[in-house]
A and B are shown apart, each in its own frame.
Chain A
């Protein structure tokens, strides 16, 4: 097991390097730069910068250097000091912009993930064990509706329904009076009153697909020979189902943890945009539109790296849960 983890850890180093290069390339990719956009905007308002001032800005951000050198500077700052450059849009270090948004992104994502799993796993098991029962059909219908409805539409519809029936307008995570206010019991209660909506919306889509995956795998597993063997041993039905086929059927879900790690950081971009949530997703969108290169590049790099790390975590978890994946033998 340890050799397996070490081998995988060594393998991801070149992968992370490649990701950083590609992320940096996306920074340089768009024609023009934020500085040009910035200068043009100033010109539109009648303020003409002279060449010296423009060059000063270029120098300030190191943009006059060759690309390779810029990359080395950017990466060494990131690795040594954790700095990722400066956001033109926010006029603040990229690190601060990201860290400010991160807790809320992570909270929403983790809670909605937990809700997804807590709902999906029991329903998936029920659906498979009582295939073609009324409950299975109900779960299937709700599952498909959840899968088919675009998240943002559900968000808007739920938001409208809450507003029209209670008069409460959910626009963002905090009501206006608490925005920017220090933490208090009132602010926390206000958060609870708002945060359920994005969680319900995000969880609904994930739940549907997880139910389908679990149901399909479990239907396959529960008729396998080893289940009959366990039954022939005299195991109680409930215990044998949970211990044997369910354990096997959960594994495909474990492998999806890898993809959810970047999602924990970025949040659901479209839902966040629709509901005005202060997560990282909308920042990425705005930064991409505004050619805020360092911000875009940094977020892209973090999300890609997290995908790699998440996949590694999934693999380690799977190897821990499923002996067939490990490459070792006992007493052979």
Chain B
């Protein structure tokens, strides 16, 4: 990361904690996460379901529904035009926050089937976004822009399809339209929350290629959230591995793949087949993810860790984050205690 210039940084997340207070206890969905995203780069966020990937993404746009969700600590710093805005200090409904949503940061979601309102045309929903953020644009121009965007994301016949309703689009087409909508105000950062999870494999490849092409064209940063290691390794420059609300390892894609440090990352690698390596038996990570209501003391991975060290890993204090090689961070006692 330090190889990037500091002025290229778009978004910094520092010690973010997003908790959900329920009758049955506090769920620490995101508990002290640090991330940095730079211009033109792709950050991959991987981890199992419930590890806090999506909550991190939703926290950035302040889409966590209060109550029960709340950002209890940390900073989300957006670097825009030379100024730094702490998003956690904004009210979710205030204008400054709304101006960031859709304009500086665009987001695409996991469920293309339900992510458009059913009663308005695709075109109306895209032009609406343009009209909110670009006050000088009139309806006709916005429509022209929307048609151009639809063409860019590969929708055939965009002049006609712009007046179609969401249910008239297939899943892949809807996700393309969703990307067009997220990109309509040329955001600095695109958050893609499992953008291809509900699509079939050929469509997945098309969508990912589309994202890569668009990134090359616009120079935007992408935060790609996925549980699919292949997808992330192909797209991302940097990878953050999350487990139970914690960032357990962070580094460049090469470092994370060639030299995984955290036992959880190593476990993830052993549990997927490798295409070019020798044929090996797949080894699942033993045990199940503990309930986030009832986190183990010390390292949250301790209960499933093959390297578990009694008296070290279960000491109830924060696990130190160690920089093992330049820009490769791991939160694990195996690599030292301080």
Whole-angstrom CA separation of A278 from B168 in the bound complex: 51
Tell me how far the C-beta of A165 lies from the nearest C-beta in chain B, rounded to whole angstroms: 45
Instruction: Name the one of B107, B116, B133, B157 contacting A331, with C-beta atoms under 8 angstroms.
Output: B157
**Cβ–Cβ contact B98 & A235, under 8 A:** yes
**Cβ–Cβ contact B114 & A234, under 8 A:** no
Render B1-32 as a binary contact track against A, CB cut-off 8 A, 1 for contact.
00000000000000000000000000000000
Instruction: Indicate whether A235 sits within 8 Å of B128 (C-beta atoms), given known contacts A226-B114, A329-B164, A331-B157.
Output: yes
Q: Within 8 Å CB of B129, what residues of A?
A: 233-234
Whole-angstrom CA separation of A136 from B160 in the bound complex: 44
Q: Within 8 Å CB of A2, what residues of B?
A: none
Q: Within 8 Å CB of A244, what residues of B?
A: 117, 119-120
Q: Within 8 Å CB of B79, what residues of A?
A: none
**Cβ–Cβ contact A331 & B160, under 8 A:** yes
Instruction: Name the one of B109, B111, B119, B160 contacting A330, with C-beta atoms under 8 angstroms.
Output: B160
CB within 8 Å of B: which A305-332 residues: 321-324, 329-332
Tell me how far the C-beta of A324 lies from the nearest C-beta in chain B, rounded to whole angstroms: 5
CB within 8 Å of A: which B111-168 residues: 111, 114-121, 125, 128-129, 132-133, 157, 160-161, 163-165, 167-168
**Cβ–Cβ contact B118 & A248, under 8 A:** yes
Tell me how far the C-beta of B217 lies from the nearest C-beta in chain A, rounded to whole angstroms: 21
Q: Within 8 Å CB of A231, what residues of B?
A: 63, 101
CB within 8 Å of A: which B70-112 residues: 93, 98-103, 106-107, 109, 111
**Cβ–Cβ contact B168 & A332, under 8 A:** yes
Whole-angstrom CA separation of A256 from B199 in the bound complex: 38
Whole-angstrom CA separation of A234 from B103 in the bound complex: 8
Whole-angstrom CA separation of A237 from B165 in the bound complex: 23
Q: Within 8 Å CB of A233, what residues of B?
A: 101-102, 125, 128-129, 132, 181
Does A91 touch B at the CB level, under 8 Å?
Answer: no
Q: Within 8 Å CB of A330, what residues of B?
A: 160-161, 163-165, 168
Render A242-258 as a binary contact track against B, CB cut-off 8 A, 1 for contact.
01100110000000000
Render B209-221 as a binary contact track against A, CB cut-off 8 A, 1 for contact.
0000000000000
Interface residues on B, range: 35 or more
Q: Within 8 Å CB of A247, what residues of B?
A: 117, 119
**Cβ–Cβ contact A226 & B101, under 8 A:** no
**Cβ–Cβ contact A230 & B98, under 8 A:** no
Q: Within 8 Å CB of A225, what residues of B?
A: 109, 111, 114-115
Whole-angstrom CA separation of A138 from B192 in the bound complex: 42
Instruction: Indicate whether A228 sits within 8 Å of B133 (C-beta atoms), given known contacts A234-B100, A235-B98, A331-B160.
Output: no
Whole-angstrom CA separation of A332 from B168 in the bound complex: 8
Q: Within 8 Å CB of A227, what residues of B?
A: 117
Looking at B100, B115, B178, B181, the one whose CB has the most chain A CB atoms below 10 A away is B115
Q: Within 8 Å CB of A223, what residues of B?
A: 65
Whole-angstrom CA separation of A227 from B114 in the bound complex: 9
Interface residues on A, range: 20 to 34
Whole-angstrom CA separation of A323 from B121 in the bound complex: 9
Q: Within 8 Å CB of A184, what residues of B?
A: none
Does A168 touch B at the CB level, under 8 Å?
Answer: no
Q: Within 8 Å CB of A232, what residues of B?
A: 61, 63, 101-102, 106-107, 109
Smallest Cβ-Cβ distance to A236: which chain B residue:
B98
Q: Within 8 Å CB of A236, what residues of B?
A: 93, 98
Tell me how far the C-beta of A220 lies from the nearest C-beta in chain B, rounded to whole angstroms: 12
Does A164 touch B at the CB level, under 8 Å?
Answer: no
Whole-angstrom CA separation of A232 from B93 in the bound complex: 11
**Cβ–Cβ contact B115 & A248, under 8 A:** no
Render B198-238 as a binary contact track against A, CB cut-off 8 A, 1 for contact.
00000000000000000000000000000000000000000
Whole-angstrom CA separation of A272 from B165 in the bound complex: 46
Instruction: Indicate whether A331 sits within 8 Å of B164 (C-beta atoms), given known contacts A226-B115, A229-B116.
Output: yes
**Cβ–Cβ contact B103 & A226, under 8 A:** no
Looking at A232, A236, A244, the one whose CB has the most chain B CB atoms below 10 A away is A232
Smallest Cβ-Cβ distance to A247: which chain B residue:
B119
Whole-angstrom CA separation of A228 from B107 in the bound complex: 10
Tell me how far the C-beta of B320 lies from the nearest C-beta in chain A, rounded to whole angstroms: 36
Q: Within 8 Å CB of B119, what residues of A?
A: 244, 247-248, 321-323
**Cβ–Cβ contact A234 & B168, under 8 A:** no
Smallest Cβ-Cβ distance to B99: which chain A residue:
A234
Does A59 touch B at the CB level, under 8 Å?
Answer: no
Q: Within 8 Å CB of B178, what residues of A?
A: 229
Render B169-205 as a binary contact track against A, CB cut-off 8 A, 1 for contact.
0000000001001000000000000000000000000
Smallest Cβ-Cβ distance to A223: which chain B residue:
B65
Tell me how far the C-beta of A321 lies from the nearest C-beta in chain B, rounded to whole angstroms: 7
Q: Within 8 Å CB of A130, what residues of B?
A: none
Whole-angstrom CA separation of A233 from B106 in the bound complex: 7
Looking at B100, B129, B181, the one whose CB has the most chain A CB atoms below 10 A away is B129
**Cβ–Cβ contact A331 & B163, under 8 A:** yes
Does A8 touch B at the CB level, under 8 Å?
Answer: no
Does A92 touch B at the CB level, under 8 Å?
Answer: no
Instruction: Indicate whether A324 sits within 8 Å of B101 (C-beta atoms), given known contacts A329-B168, A331-B163.
Output: no
**Cβ–Cβ contact B114 & A324, under 8 A:** no
Whole-angstrom CA separation of A234 from B111 in the bound complex: 19
Whole-angstrom CA separation of A223 from B98 in the bound complex: 19
Whole-angstrom CA separation of A85 from B163 in the bound complex: 53
CB within 8 Å of B: which A19-50 residues: none
Tell me how far the C-beta of B35 lies from the nearest C-beta in chain A, rounded to whole angstroms: 19
Q: Within 8 Å CB of B100, what residues of A?
A: 234
Tell me how far the C-beta of A68 lies from the nearest C-beta in chain B, rounded to whole angstroms: 49
**Cβ–Cβ contact B102 & A234, under 8 A:** yes
Q: Within 8 Å CB of A234, what residues of B?
A: 98-103, 129, 132-133
Query: Hey, which bits of chain B sit against chain A, CB under 8 A?
Result: 61, 63, 65, 93, 98-103, 106-107, 109, 111, 114-121, 125, 128-129, 132-133, 157, 160-161, 163-165, 167-168, 178, 181
Offer 21 A-B interface pairs, CB within 8 angstroms, sorted by A. Answer: A224-B114, A225-B114, A227-B117, A228-B109, A229-B109, A229-B115, A229-B116, A229-B117, A232-B107, A234-B98, A234-B102, A234-B103, A235-B98, A236-B93, A243-B120, A323-B118, A324-B167, A330-B160, A330-B165, A331-B160, A331-B161
